[in-house]
Amino acid sequence: MTTDPDAEFTALVHRQSRFVFRVAYAVLLNSHDAEDAVQETFLKLYRNRAWEQAANERAYLARVAWREAVDLRPRRSQSSTASPEPLEIDEAQSLQPGPEQTVLSANQNSVIHAMIDALPEELRVPLALSAFDELHSPEIGTILGIPEGTVRTRLQRARQILRQKLASLQESRYA
């Protein structure tokens, strides 16, 4: 039985577009630029069909998206001086929070995302791949082309910096 390559590609896009967006966003820190990188990534994949032979689909897609975002960044950095936008993440909740809790949660999320966005790229990208996309150190190392031990060190350093920033934020609020 033969399968339709276009249907397979459409399924790939539906299955992995959010993941590819998050990888691109981790590099570009701008949702509009990340969307452009996603489109370029999938256009490139559609043209060369190399994704069909990939052993690890997510790792392959992350690597292609990461390269596309890095390639897109120099062009964008000259034309865009806007500050990073907070990344919006849809989370299903079983209980509907009240308006006050919604505002508090949104504020906390935006503060945390701003802290993550302020990290240097070498720390931010592995953290985003680990935290948001739930990839493990070997997969992140493959995507970024760095040793697994380096990934672990960068993750540890990024988390340490975030802990310090959150602690100082807590101290300043209650001082």
Domain-wise residue ranges, the chain: 1-80, 97-175
More confident position, 65 or 101: 65
pTM: 0.60
**pLDDT of 6 above 90:** no
Average pLDDT, the chain: 79
The answer to whether the 1-80 and 97-175 domains have the same CATH topology is no
Second-level CATH architecture of 1-80: Orthogonal Bundle (1.10)
CA distances from 101 to 10, 95, 96, 105, 106 (A): 38, 12, 10, 6, 8
Phi, psi of 133 (to 5 degrees): -105, 0
The pLDDT value recorded for residue 26 is: 85
Tokens of 83: 């500050």
Fold of 97-175: Arc Repressor Mutant, subunit A (1.10.10)
Residue 67: how many other CB atoms lie within 10 Å? 16
**pLDDT of 108 above 90:** no
The pLDDT value recorded for residue 58 is: 85
